[in-house]
Amino acid sequence: MTDETLTRFKSELDSFFVLVLLNMVFGALAMAFGMQFIIASVLGLAGGQSTPALRILAGSISLVGFGLGLSWVLSSAKILKGINAIRREFRSCPAPVTGEVLTGWILQMTAHYRQNKKAIGLMTRICTLGGCVFLALGIINLIGAVAVWGSPAGILVASLFFITTAINLTIGIASLRFSSYFRRYSRAWDNRIDEVSQNEKALHNFMERG
Amino acid sequence: MGGRRTEFEIYWEILVFCKSPRSFTAIINRCDLNSKTGQEYLEFLRSKGYLSLTKDGERSTWVATGRAHEYIALFTEIYQKLFDTIPGFKL
């Protein structure tokens, strides 16, 4: 049983590590692009663009995106710290891994989930919200691209809008995907925590007997 | 090992660590407990026959008994099953 359990444990540990790491990268990207779009919107306003209302809207949403990106990175860093400690211990352990060592790691993961349940829940919501914000930005920039398409500024400005749209949509879709992965991870661990609670009765009875 | 643990998880950690004789300080450091709760856990496990205390002059050590191995085995089985029976997470 230990070998199969070990394989499953390793796979889950690696998957979650990659998810949190990628999530952190996208959080940083969201922050960076949020800031960039704020500046671009302000510069666009100062330059007397033909669609100031659209620029103000894009600037406001970018500000929200920047704030979300910041909390996104901070939450990811908190979760990553705990998971990285378990992963380091796992990688430095010489084979063969005994059942007790494996159980110790499972216990650490369980304790990590209990401790970070709220942060993971927050992460899920931030990803969903961040995804929606960047999708909205993408749509606004797409409208901007269409609006300037026929203007004297021509194809160059429209192309820049299209590139921005592509970046926004990529971050938005990735964020929504991440939020669904976080939900799946939480579901798996909530089931495990329930199972632990149900088995506490058996452990209690065992402890108390004779 | 820190984080949020149940009392049964802490018992397991103490018993596994005490497979070899251990001092009180070593136990509370390893299991991330304070002196007061550490003493309570050890006394509980001793009262139930899972730990025994040996005094050798000034030095006292705690060691797991045969009954502790049964608890360790049951606990190990339950926790490993978490990864065997419940669908896990994979990217």
A24-53 per-position pLDDT tens digit: 888 888 788 778 777 877 776 665 555 677
Cβ–Cβ under 8 Å, residues A68 and A129: yes
Subunit contact B88:A12, Cβ cutoff 8 A? yes
* Res B48 pLDDT > 60: yes
**Chain B nearest CA to A11, separation (Å):** 7
Q: Does B5 touch chain A (CB under 8 A)?
A: yes
Domain count, chain A: 1
Cβ–Cβ under 8 Å, residues A61 and A137: yes
Mean pLDDT of all residues in B45-57: 91
Which tops the pLDDT comparison, A59 or B53? B53
- Report the pLDDT value the prediction gives residue B22, as an integer from 0 to 100: 94
Nearest to A9 among B78, B83, B86 (CB): B83
- Report the pLDDT value the prediction gives residue A48, as an integer from 0 to 100: 57
DSSP structural state of residue A210 = -
Query: If contacts are CB pairs under 8 Å, which of residues 65-84 in chain B contact chain A?
Result: 70-72, 74-76, 78-84
ipTM reported for the complex, 2 dp: 0.89
Per-residue pLDDT tens over the stretch A58-70:
778 778 878 878 8
Cβ–Cβ under 8 Å, residues A102 and B80: yes
- B interface test, pick of A16, A79, A199 with most B CB neighbours within 10 Å: A199
Chain B residue closest in CA terms to A9? B83
Tokens 């909530």 locate to A190
Q: Give me the residues of chain A with pLDDT under 50, please.
A: none
Q: How many CB pairs under 8 A join A and B?
A: 107
* Res B77 pLDDT > 80: yes
Subunit contact A188:B70, Cβ cutoff 8 A? no
Cα(B88)–Cα(B22) distance, rounded to whole angstroms? 36
Subunit contact A207:B71, Cβ cutoff 8 A? yes
Residues spanned by the domain of A166: 2-209
Instruction: Measure the CA angle with vertex A87, ends A86 and A88; round to 5°.
Output: 90
Structure tokens belonging to residue A189: 């661990």
